[in-house]
Structure 1
Amino acid sequence: MRVAFVSLMYDAPWGGSEVLWTHTAARALAEGHEVMASFYAWPEMAAPLQALAAAGAQILLRTRYQPSLRHRAVNWLARLPWGGELPEIRALTRFKPDVVLINQAGWMDLFFHQQLLDWLRRVPFILACHNYQDPVRQRDFSRALLTDMYSRAKEVLMISDNQLRTLQRQLVDPIANARVIQNPLNLPATYPVPRNVQTNGGLQLAVVASFDVDRKGQDVLLQALTAPEWASRRFQLNFYGQGPDQAYLEKLIQFYRLTDRVRLRGHVADTAAIWRENDLLIIPSRIESGPMVLQEAMLCGRPVVAADVGMVRDWLDDDETGFIADTASAISLNRALSRAWARRADWPAIGTLAAERVRQRIEIEPVGELLRRLVGYATDSATSGRRERRPQG
């Protein structure tokens, strides 16, 4: 079987939205399927994408848009011999996939790729949605186009019930082919993870997210920690990650006079190393569908303070396994953090309960399940095609 994976993530070379499809592509290769992986070119290819290439995937790099007149003219001239058809469309046609997975970092990325959307009429495809925005006011014509786009997919994958309900409301459509899935997690070999002996620096609080404040909300968390009550509380806040807003966060930490309280720790792939050194996870996100770090931290035995976004309320029980802020505002986050602080002696017990509850619900094989469904849709399509070609007597 030939499977094509097309990632439409545009803003970064790697992110949480890429984990499921890359794991599934790697499993497909291991099981003997032919794989094409298409994604945007960056100066340095992310390590998981390099691993796909090394394992035998056909890699199709797409050029990111540049607004310069020269860049647009060169691209236009290059497409002229093929009537304006994009190189990725020609490559997909040559590859002849039996099934396609379109991976969106958001929820309407494919809407802006008209040639790809038109080409997908010829092959079964699954459409993955990894985020949403609310509020969003859709006009009637765009609502109709998006509903049609979703209806063409064999399945529309969502990351949380909240995401699905929000998009159903915005589109005024049940999205009958939607299915809520789980992402594969980055977990240590053994978990829960015991906490190292605490130092004199006080309780250690962690935010594990890319430095993208519009979505991840580190800026509003810093503002929350300027409330007077935090001046006497002994804590250290650790930001794990990297991203375009690092310089801004460094300036904001200085602006709020939190340099002795907040550290930027960079990207740390070893989750056990993070949770050996931290007592609590904070998710201050403004926009989020399925923060995988929520489940990871809970399985590692840590309580969580999180803004009410995406799947947070699906997995976190307020005042039992963590503390939920109504919104990603300084006031709401401060209230939730203060509730957590008042129960800091209970954090180990809360973390233990969090790990127990997540273990009862976690999906063991999301990658294998997705690959089975892709194979199933390809098989159904091939069988249907044979029936249609059967001579009539």
Structure 2
Amino acid sequence: MKIAFISTVFSNPWAGSEELWYQTSLRCLERGHQVIASLFQMPCSCPQIENFQSHGGRVHWRKRFKNGRLHVLKHSYVSAFRQLFKSKPDVVILSLGSMMDLTLQPDLLRELQQSPAKVILLFLFNADCLVPDDNARAIIGSYCQRANHLIFVSKHNCLLAERQLALKFNKVSVFSGSISYTDKYEKLPWRANDTLEMACVARFAMQEKGQDILIESLAQPQWKSRNWRLNLFGLGREEYLRQLINHFKLTERVRFRGYVTDTRDIWRENQIMVLASRAEGLSLAVLEAMICGRVCVVTDVGGHGEVITDSQSGFLAEAPQPKYFGRALERAWSMKEKLPEIGQNAHEAAFKKFSETPDKKLLYLIEQI
């Protein structure tokens, strides 16, 4: 069988959301399938892509773009996917950073409408603030009607998409993405420390990940006398964050720790994951922290409320605002003595989520569709 994975994720170095198609592609290659991946060009080498190629996978690179309107205009006439579809794939899987990505790919829709291939749409993210206009709804709806199966990483995202598009999905599955370490889902020993070590593991994209909300929440008067430290892991708009931290006089409390490939190294040193996201699919960084037995304080967006029970396996803020995130932090602080127990509950909840690995589920769909 010829299988094509098309990713619209625009990230550097490697986005965690890419793990699902990547790990599934390796399983496909192990089973003797031919696999092609269509990806945006990367400015540096990527171990995952090198591994994919070393196992026999082929890559078709697409040029990155800055101006969406010019990109759409150009690809209304010229297809960036022509070479891929010339190989006549039997199954095409679209791994989508957002459903709005589909509005930037007129050439892809044209190729799919002319191809007999089975199509799976994998939606990795959605947000309440995404309100497609009539033209965008028509384009996305055309993709959904062409698809043989839809996959969402959370029930929330699926129901939200039905509302946004005014469509009822029929052939749909809901399961999370794959985390980066699949060999062991073991809980790490709890790190006892007089200082509460908190980590935010996310790219520095405030419009989605909400680091600004987190920092303002920790700048409230009650936190001045408490023994805590915040470690920021990720890359992105660092200069703005540094200015914001200085603005709230938290430079002695907050450290920038860079990008870490294996997040288990983070959770050997930190006790709490803090993530004030404005929107999510289902954060893989949160699931990784839970697998490691760490307590997560997060906003109730995307699928967070589907894996975390407040004050039992983590803490949920009702909305991405400092007032509400601050309340969730207060509950966590007031239950400091119970954090190891809550971390154990978090591990069990995440372990249940991965009892059947997502890449196996996707492989099954590909072979059965």
Could you tell me the TM-score, scaled by structure 2's length? 0.92
Matched, 1:276 2:268: yes
Larger Rg: 1
C-alpha separation in 2, matches of 1:136 and 1:357? 30
Matched, 1:145 2:142: no
C-alpha separation in 1, matches of 2:177 and 2:317? 24
Is the contact between residue 13 and residue 40 of structure 1 (CA under 8 Å) also seen in structure 2? no
SS at match of 1:108: helix
SS at match of 2:99: coil
Match of residue 160 from structure 1: 154
- What is the count of residue pairs matched by the alignment? 364
Given candidates 330, 345, 350, the residue that maps to 1:353 is 345
Match of residue 186 from structure 2: 191
Correspondence list, 1:102-181, <5 A: 102-121=94-113, 122=115, 123-181=117-175
Given candidates 198, 215, 218, the residue that maps to 2:211 is 218
Is the contact between residue 238 and residue 265 of structure 1 (CA under 8 Å) also seen in structure 2? yes
Correspondence list, 1:301-316, <5 A: 301-316=293-308
Correspondence list, 1:1-393, <5 A: 1-66=1-66, 84-86=77-79, 88-121=80-113, 122=115, 123-187=117-181, 189=184, 191-198=186-193, 202-242=195-235, 244-377=236-369
Is the contact between residue 308 and residue 349 of structure 2 (CA under 8 Å) also seen in structure 1? no
| Partner AA of 1:204 in structure 2 | E
Match of residue 382 from structure 1: none
The Cα shift of 1:362 comes to: 2.7
The Cα shift of 1:11 comes to: 4.9
Is the contact between residue 151 and residue 175 of structure 1 (CA under 8 Å) also seen in structure 2? no
The Cα shift of 1:220 comes to: 1.3
CA shift in 2, pair 1:84/1:361, >3 Å: closer
Is the contact between residue 195 and residue 277 of structure 1 (CA under 8 Å) also seen in structure 2? no
Is the contact between residue 185 and residue 351 of structure 2 (CA under 8 Å) also seen in structure 1? no
The Cα shift of 1:336 comes to: 0.7
C-alpha separation in 1, matches of 2:353 and 2:56? 34
The Cα shift of 1:197 comes to: 4.4
Alpha-carbon deviations, 1:169-214, whole Å to 9, x = none?
111222122211121223473621013442x5x1101111111111
Is the contact between residue 93 and residue 119 of structure 2 (CA under 8 Å) also seen in structure 1? yes
CA shift in 2, pair 1:162/1:364, >3 Å: same
The Cα shift of 1:66 comes to: 4.9
The Cα shift of 1:317 comes to: 0.3
Match of residue 391 from structure 1: none
Unaligned runs of 5+ in 1: 378-393
Could you tell me the TM-score, scaled by structure 1's length? 0.87
Is the contact between residue 177 and residue 358 of structure 2 (CA under 8 Å) also seen in structure 1? yes
CA shift in 2, pair 1:152/1:211, >3 Å: same
C-alpha separation in 1, matches of 2:272 and 2:256? 16
SS at match of 2:293: coil
C-alpha separation in 1, matches of 2:111 and 2:243? 46
RMSD: 2.2
The Cα shift of 1:218 comes to: 0.8
| Bigger mean CA deviation after superposition, 354-363 or 253-262 | 354-363
| Bigger mean CA deviation after superposition, 37-46 or 186-195 | 186-195
Unaligned runs of 5+ in 2: none
C-alpha separation in 2, matches of 1:131 and 1:331? 25
CA shift in 2, pair 1:16/1:361, >3 Å: closer
